[in-house]
Homo-oligomer: A and B are copies of this chain.
């Protein structure tokens, strides 16, 4: 079969796109490696070669599916770029199935060590690294204070959104993320 001779990168990308699409359609409840194999035409052996578990595959597929939406613009003004990215992030969490998928994955990961490891390595750590890279660049060009710890800023922007996603006492929306940015750039002191 021609399929068998396709380049590895292409096969990988097909599987990831299929996995991301299936996850958005069914949530983790309907997500199986069997279905990804059937839909993508890849064998289960091939899938397991790249991803050790269902959770790892779901997360890698998720990362692929949201990468375009979550891309950072780079206008050279970090405050504006953060607002743009955070608006897209909140839109993704509140207006697409992504929010429910993440709630389910993060929730299950609290009592499933393997899933947590997959979540950290396949999704949250790479996304955190992208944000830190952008914040560090802004600090290097003099937009942010010299001794700033970029990691802590990630928790006060995206982490604050995850807090409202998982513990929804208050609404997660665009005015909220704008306040998060305001608080950090203007400070909260009188």
Interface positions of A from 107 to 137, Cβ below 8 Å from B: 107-111, 116, 119-120, 124-125, 128
A42 located at the interface, meaning its Cβ lies under 8 Å from any Cβ of chain B in the complex: no
Interface string of A16-52 (1 = CB under 8 A from B): 0000000000000000000000000000000000000
Given contacts A120-B167, A156-B180, A166-B162, are A188 and B144 in contact (CB under 8 A)?
yes
**How many angstroms from the CA of A64 to the CA of B162 in the assembled complex?**
26
A interface SS class: helix
Q: How far is the CA of A146 from the CA of B186 in the complex (A)?
A: 12
A152 touches B180 (CB 8 A): yes
Q: A163-B159, A189-B145, A190-B143 are in contact. Are A169 and B120 (CB under 8 A)?
A: yes
In the complex, are the beta carbons of B183 and A156 less than 8 A apart?
yes
**Is A187 among interface residues, defined by CB-CB distance under 8 A?**
yes
A180 / chain B contacts, CB cutoff of 8 Å: 152, 155-156
